[in-house]
Structure 1
Amino acid sequence: MTQYDPGLQPERTQLAWRRTALSIAVVSLIAARALPLILGSGVWVIPGVVGVAASAVLWVASARRAGAVDRALSPVPHPDRMPDGRLIAVVVVFTIAAGLLALVVLLVGVPA
């Protein structure tokens, strides 16, 4: 009796991680382009570059996570355990940091 159903759920989860990484990349590219124009300083391109790098890391980490889940749930015995919540925690921290950055941008305001 196998407990693992190799249906579409693992693929949907992987696609959700990819959409998350892609949305972080798009918003980061927009921020890298818009923030220096709005706030008038080239230093505001840094959050956009960090976001694009984070999305690339998330893309790779999510692929590794999907492989680990697939190996851990397959009917063939593997020593792998299920992935923990570290990747989710990193995405949460990144989202909170982006929200705080948006708050800072709102408080700094557009120079007159």
Structure 2
Amino acid sequence: MSGPGAASRDAGLQPERTRLAWRRTTLACSVAAVLAVRQALHGSGSPLRVAGTAVIALIWLAFLGVAHVRMRQLATARPPALAPRVALGAVLCTVALALFAMTVIF
């Protein structure tokens, strides 16, 4: 949006909705990580599964860090735009979590 009123734009509840969306995504990521760990613990316990579970836990922690940074930014009066580095981090964590979860399951 550009023009004379762009600088004084009232974001309304949009930052709050975005922050809640980040929380929902974090919850979904947590559930996926817990289910993958559960599958690995109730499985054969092979070294590959254990290593995959450890990687999943690290990816989950990285995603929690990325989400925490963004949620703190959204709590300000004028939140900055999503940085490309944060967006890339979230995408990489999501894709990596899905890939490693498949390795633990199979």
Give yes or no for TM over 0.5. yes
Q: Is 1:16 aligned with 2:15?
A: no
Q: How many Å separate the matches in 2 of 1:31 and 1:103? A: 9
2:38 corresponds in structure 1 to 33
The CA distance in 2 between the partners of 1:35 and 1:52, in whole Å, is 15
TM-fit CA distance, 1:19 = 0.9
Residue 23 of structure 1 aligns to which amino acid in structure 2? A
Cα distance change on mapping 1:66 and 1:32 into 2, 3 Å: same
Greater C-alpha Rg: 1
Stretches of structure 1 lacking an aligned partner (at least 5 in a row): 73-80
- How many residues end up aligned between the 2 structures? 98
Higher relative contact order (CA 8 A, sep 6+): 2
Select which of 59, 64, 69 maps to 1:56: 64
Q: Percent identity?
A: 31
2:90 corresponds in structure 1 to 91
Over aligned residues, Cα RMSD in angstroms? 2.6
Q: Kindly indicate whether the alpha-carbon contact (under 8 Å) linking 2:63 and 2:89 is maintained by their aligned counterparts in 1.
A: no
Residue equivalent to 1:77: none
- Are the equivalent residues in 2 in contact too, given 1:25–1:52 (CA < 8 A)? yes
